[in-house]
Chains A and B, each alone.
Chain A
Amino acid sequence: MRGWLLSIGSVVLTSLVIGNAYFQKQQFYPSVVYITKSNPSLAVLYLQAFVFVLLLGQLSRKVFFGQLRPAETEHLIERSWYAVTETCLAFTVFRDNFSPLFVAQFTMLLFLKCFHWLSEDRVEYMERSPVISFLFHIRVICLLTLLGTLDSLLVHKAYHSVINSGASTQLVFGFEYAILLTIVVAVFMKYVLHTIDLQSVNPWENKAVYILYSELVMGFIKSFLYITFMVIMIRVHTFPLFAIRPMYLTLRSFKKSVSDVIMSRRAILNMNTLYPDATPEELASGDNVCIICREEMMTNAKKLPCNHIFHISCLRSWFQRQQTCPTCRMDVLQPQQPRPPAMPAMPQGIPPHGAHMPPPFPMFPMGFPPVPPPGVPPGAPQQGLGPTPPQPPTTQGPSSSTTPQPSSNPIPGTLPPFFPPPFPMFPSPMFGFPFPRPPSSGNTSSATMEELRAMEGEERENVEARIAVLRNIHSLLDTAITQLNQYSQAVAATQTPTFMSGLEPQAGTSTAPISTSQDQNTDENIVSSTADVPGPSWAVVDEDVATTDGETRSIPEASTGVETLAEDYASHNDLRQRRIERFSSQPNDNQDEE
């Protein structure tokens, strides 16, 4: 309404002024001279020009933006006030050159600036709205092309004017339009990124990274422009007070984008090195909704040391802000020192084979059994592979008898990477050094004379040897503790008597290495006590681990229920085979060492 009043009023005034001039002078040229000589008439004409600019602005807004959203209007008004203030400051700096043309140029600059801001807001809005129409794309592309062309033309013009007629106010305009051109480029880059993102059904994970880097580059260019501008202005003219605020803002945002990039890189590095990928089994088990984006996690998920699982991209953007677990707020950088990657890995592999673990650990820290102990592990594979099938399930026995119970266990397939093979090898993925060494050096009875001698005496090497032994013992104790924890978890997870009966003899094994026959007895107990459980068939399967799945099914005593279970555990079969291969290779190595 007010706008209409203003424009109609100005048109009326202009026609009055022109009519009056023509009425007085009767001719074109004298009336023009009259108008330009009369200040009130000129004021009216300037007002009319201003109104024209406003109308043009309204028209282009309608063409390129349609209705402005309230937030956009608010933003525009706020920025316009700053720009107007700065323009007034610029007028004071260039008061010598003050002329209507100069004002007109500044008005045009302001006018174009408004459209740059609006286009910035509009493109940002793409991220917020679920419905982006075709018209939107056309409008944005047209607007950006137009603005880009105008900016380059004006920069070009300003450049030539400066080159030809020396530094003048054109210098300011040249820089201003160059800055606007960078805005157009930045907006266009964002637009392209958003458009690509809109095309795909799934969120584009690397978009954040691209945006980050594009902001970094544009921030750098803008800061460079501003600093150059500042230096040149101070040299040729005076201190450009009007450019202080935008320059400060630019430098600040550049600094922020630099730190964002650094944080992002650090987050990515941490994620790639510190945390394991979540396996498909972990994702399949139970709640696989990423708490950050509330989407299901199919792939590309990471597991933090606290066992919480998130999308890689979500986690990365969160780590840019904070290095804590979003769920439990554990500081993810804290446990970096000793062995972060191993710790989260362990609980995955262990639980289903909790029964498998105990034998190694009690022997270990004590350092009693020298590398090929009389007890279970190295012997087992040989029996398992060897031609004498009757005594297979030494180490496998318990685990196979227990596997049916933890069948609900979410992560059976995670085993391959983390499964602890016979113990001499097991800790080696966790600790950097080859593990078989500690038992032999920690065990005085089996240590060689050389080693014993090395541990005596006061010389440096001897002391070092002692310290090394102590360190080994320390790490063994750590292992034992984690294993104990997992052991207790496994016990808690499976409460059926079958499992317990399978475990008790294990405890016996731990204190005094027990012959395989005893283990076998317990297995037979299990077999007899739980004839309806797939246990028996498993004992059979274990006898001949090399049998394929199909052969397993052909085993006569396997009932239909067992068959399905056999299918379920086909992967276990593979696994066991792999395990046994390692078994057979590992102890041999150890023996070689001895």
Chain B
Amino acid sequence: MAGAALKRLMAEYRQLTLNPPEGIIAGPVNEENFFEWEALIMGPEGTPFEDGVFTAKIVFPSDYPLSPPKMKFVSDMFHPNVYPDGRVCISILHAPGDDPMGYETSAERWSPVQSVEKILLSVVSMLAEPNDESGANVDASKLWRDNREEFNKIAKTLVRKSLNL
């Protein structure tokens, strides 16, 4: 068989197909390349993103799981912890050492214990509870803090957009 990274990705894929967590679907874009995944994430209930289905792309490095994958929303996303270009900024996606926001302890960084499932669950909880201390999208952070109604309105339009409505 092939490399350790590939084996682990296949194992995770199997795991995710057998026991999919609620509101998350993820898998390789095509089965010849297991290092690029697509994930569909349901907006968690009771949040402005409720009912939305957001598409994201996960790209794994060849030394996965020693290095973290990169995740990027393909759907439009307006969220304090998502860069305007869609890249997701959560601490478990950062390798210990680089600290883009300068506030994370190494305990919440990437480690091989993490998995695609955990990343996606963290993203769901990030959607539910933005962390406005680390503003990847400053406009969204500001709006989230100061003008929640406007934020919710934008989120609602994104939800509709994500459903092609």
Partner-A contacts on B (CB < 8 A):
1-8, 10-12, 15, 31-35, 62-63, 65-67, 95-96, 106-107, 111-113
Contact = CB atoms under 8 A, between A and B. Distances in A.
Query: Chain A contact residues: over half helix, strand or loop, or mixed?
Result: loop
A75 to B, nearest CB: 13
Contacts, number: 87
B142 to A, nearest CB: 34
Contacts of A128: 3, 5-6, 33-35, 62
13 contacts: A128-B3, A131-B32, A194-B3, A197-B2, A203-B2, A291-B112, A292-B66, A295-B7, A317-B63, A317-B66, A324-B111, A326-B111, A326-B113
Interface string A57-73: 00000000000010000
A200 B3 CA distance: 10
Q: How large is the interface on A (under 10, 10 to 19, 20 to 34, 35 or more residues)?
A: 20 to 34
Contact of A294 (B12, B35, B111): B12
A318 B3 CA distance: 15
Contacts of A327: 111, 113
B62 A130 contact: no
Contact of B11 (A127, A294, A313, A329): A294
Interface of A: 69, 124-132, 194, 197-198, 200-203, 207, 291-295, 313-314, 317-318, 321-322, 324, 326-327, 329
Contact of B107 (A127, A321, A329): A329
B31 A130 contact: yes
B33 A69 contact: yes
A202 B1 contact: yes
A127 B33 CA distance: 10
A203 B1 contact: yes
Contact of A203 (B7, B35, B66, B106): B7
A293 B7 contact: yes
Given A314-B4, A317-B63, A130 B10 contact: yes
A295 B67 CA distance: 18
Contacts of A203: 1-4, 7
Contact of A200 (B1, B67, B95): B1
A322 B34 contact: no
B34 to A, nearest CB: 7
A134 to B, nearest CB: 15
Given A127-B5, A128-B6, A326-B113, 13 more contacts: A130-B34, A194-B2, A197-B3, A198-B1, A198-B2, A201-B1, A203-B3, A291-B112, A292-B65, A294-B11, A324-B106, A326-B111, A327-B111
